[in-house]
Amino acid sequence: MKNYLVTIGLEVHVQLKTRSKMFCGCPVEFGAQPNTHTCPVCLGMPGALPVMNHQALKMTALTGLMLGCTIPPVCKFDRKHYFYPDMPKNYQISQYDLPLCLGGGVPLHQLAFPKDVQKTVANPDKVIPLTRIHLEEDVAKSTHFDASSGIDFNRAGTPLMEIVSDPEISSPEEAFAYLTSLKQILIYGNVSDADMEKGQMRCDCNISLRPEGQTELGTKIEIKNMNTISGVRRALAYEIERQTACLDRGEKLLQETRRWDDASGQTSLMRVKESEADYRYFPDPDLLPVKTEAIVAEVRPFVPELPATKRARFASQYGVSAYDAGVLANDLPLASYFEKAAANARNPKNVANWILNELLSSLSNTETGIEACPISPEHLDELVNVIDEGKISGKQGKEVFAEMFATGKAPGVIIEEKGLKQESDLGAIEALCDQAIAANPKAVAEYKSGKLASINFLKGQVMKLSQGKANPAVAGEVLAKKLA
């Protein structure tokens, strides 16, 4: 058995979050009644002409800036020809030799990798170089019934950004991390929701295997129809296994397109590519070439802080661990929540802990998104401050937190209602300590003979006497002083 080197390149199609379609005024809306968002332009009626959606150009330029692409001074749009019923004009307006963005790259990071490999990734901060990003129009959606097919043109003409990576991805896990990182950046830029299950982000994979030591790339095989990022990982893993077995048997692989079936976890042959399809590209005479300088200037102020910068800043500004910073920055709404909660926090690190432990588990238990979180960031901050100040115990904090999550009430109100205020008054605690010492001579003797852990028993007695309201830290200090 030989060892094989894996080469993967991804073509990612991203639906842009514009209000209207790429070349007409029809609204872009997922899930509307079929063929209700159409007009002569997106139906390819005779005489209709495309008009450029400026917002789509801006969003693609912004994506280019976020990913460090070069944006040449002029881009143009071309017609790509093929006949298919979901293509209203039987040509797609796309960009061929002068795309909007060239080069650039997607930076990976440890937490973008699948959980099971995060600890063992050799090169977690690899940057996957991009070939190009171009803009095109989406096609309609075909649905096949028993004896007929339906076409929904609502999707036809939706602005679609195609992001093409160089073939520099070397494992299914890296492909997973690439898509996760890319998705995060697209969400950061507010250019797409990039939800693969809604078709907002679609991925075609090109994969080839070659024996170790061979420089020439192996036969390129394309895989389509993955609906999730983990589906991409599984499809690639399956293909590596399948192709390895073929090559080990001495078979020659054919250049082909394969369809991933998520349920069976297998790919199957769609078509063999005997020759490159001839799309007969030529510049669309209905659209003028686009000068990009003004567009780039327009969007440059909107380049957001990117995930990598945010992670680093969270660690340095708030003192949270690199891991926690990563988890927070992975999810833009969560990161924003954290920043709001931590803004006035005495100890932002504790705020992060409460978010990553209590809050995330409550949200996940109730299947609530952070956007709909019943606890406002300000209230969470207040709760953490109250605990940090010793006004209530951590245990009480959890009780208050549960109530906050259930009712949305402010922590102060809940503490008041439940009479939970922690006793930190020195005089009161001293009295309780005296009581506990007097009632437990055995424990006192043990402590004095060197068994220092006995003080915890005494502290527990103080807590009991105070009905849990005493500040345990203060109680411990007082006891130690009295027994010294």
Closest distance to another protein from the beta carbon of 90 (Å):
4
Is residue 250 close enough to count as binding another protein by CB under 8 A? no
Q: What are 186's two structure tokens?
A: 């697209």
Closest distance to another protein from the beta carbon of 51 (Å):
6
Of the two residues 152 and 173, which places its CB atom closer to another protein in the complex?
152
Strands 201-211 and 159-165, by their bridges, are unpaired
Closest distance to another protein from the beta carbon of 92 (Å):
11
Of the two residues 46 and 419, which places its CB atom closer to another protein in the complex?
46
- Tell me the C-alpha distance between 129 and 134, whole Å: 15
- The answer to whether residues 390 and 362 touch, using CB atoms and an 8 Å cutoff, is no
Closest distance to another protein from the beta carbon of 158 (Å):
18
- The answer to whether residues 353 and 323 touch, using CB atoms and an 8 Å cutoff, is no
Strands 221-224 and 256-261, by their bridges, are parallel
Closest distance to another protein from the beta carbon of 59 (Å):
19
The burial class, CB within 10 Å (0-12 / 13-18 / 19+), for 327 is buried
Between helix 172-188 and helix 307-318 the angle, nearest 10°, is: 80
- The answer to whether residues 189 and 69 touch, using CB atoms and an 8 Å cutoff, is no
Q: Which residues are registered as beta bridge partners of 135? A: 161
Of the two residues 85 and 369, which places its CB atom closer to another protein in the complex?
85
Of the two residues 151 and 341, which places its CB atom closer to another protein in the complex?
151
Closest distance to another protein from the beta carbon of 287 (Å):
6
Kindly identify the residues of this chain, within the stretch 12-51, that bind another protein according to CB under 8 A. 40, 43-51
Binding mask 424-463 for another protein (x = CB under 8 A): ----------------------------------------
Nearest C-alpha neighbor of 167 from the set 222, 213, 95, 124: 222
Amino acid at 28: V
Of the two residues 281 and 457, which places its CB atom closer to another protein in the complex?
281
Closest distance to another protein from the beta carbon of 70 (Å):
25
Is residue 52 close enough to count as binding another protein by CB under 8 A? yes
Per CB under 8 A, the list member of 21, 37, 58, 79 interacting with another protein is 79
Q: What are 1's two structure tokens?
A: 């058995």
The count of other CB atoms within 10 Å of the CB of residue 211 is 11
Closest distance to another protein from the beta carbon of 277 (Å):
9
How many CA within 13 A on the CB side of residue 127? 11
Nearest C-alpha neighbor of 334 from the set 230, 198, 184: 184
Q: What are 41's two structure tokens?
A: 């332009």
Closest distance to another protein from the beta carbon of 256 (Å):
20
Of the two residues 37 and 89, which places its CB atom closer to another protein in the complex?
89
Of the two residues 83 and 145, which places its CB atom closer to another protein in the complex?
83
Kindly identify the residues of this chain, within the stretch 259-288, that bind another protein according to CB under 8 A. 276, 278, 280-282, 285-288
Kindly identify the residues of this chain, within the stretch 80-99, that bind another protein according to CB under 8 A. 81, 83-85, 88-91
- Tell me the C-alpha distance between 299 and 285, whole Å: 27
Closest distance to another protein from the beta carbon of 81 (Å):
6
Binding mask 123-162 for another protein (x = CB under 8 A): ----------------------------x-----------
Of the two residues 100 and 458, which places its CB atom closer to another protein in the complex?
100
SS3 label, residue 12: strand
The burial class, CB within 10 Å (0-12 / 13-18 / 19+), for 272 is exposed
- The answer to whether residues 173 and 8 touch, using CB atoms and an 8 Å cutoff, is no
Angle at 244 between CA 243 and CA 249, to 5 degrees: 95
Residue position matching structure tokens 């833009």: 332
- The answer to whether residues 137 and 158 touch, using CB atoms and an 8 Å cutoff, is yes
How many residues of this chain bind another protein (CB under 8 A)? 30
Of the two residues 89 and 155, which places its CB atom closer to another protein in the complex?
89
- The answer to whether residues 432 and 482 touch, using CB atoms and an 8 Å cutoff, is no
Closest distance to another protein from the beta carbon of 282 (Å):
6
Of the two residues 246 and 287, which places its CB atom closer to another protein in the complex?
287
Of the two residues 50 and 397, which places its CB atom closer to another protein in the complex?
50
The secondary structure element, H or E, covering residue 315 is: helix 307-318
The count of other CB atoms within 10 Å of the CB of residue 409 is 16
Of the two residues 17 and 89, which places its CB atom closer to another protein in the complex?
89
Closest distance to another protein from the beta carbon of 221 (Å):
22
75-83, 212-220, 298-306, 423-431 -> range binding another protein (CB under 8 A): 75-83
Q: Which residues are registered as beta bridge partners of 420? A: none
Closest distance to another protein from the beta carbon of 139 (Å):
12
Of the two residues 280 and 448, which places its CB atom closer to another protein in the complex?
280
Q: Which residues make up the interface to another protein (CB under 8 A)?
A: 40, 43-52, 79, 81, 83-85, 88-91, 151, 276, 278, 280-282, 285-288
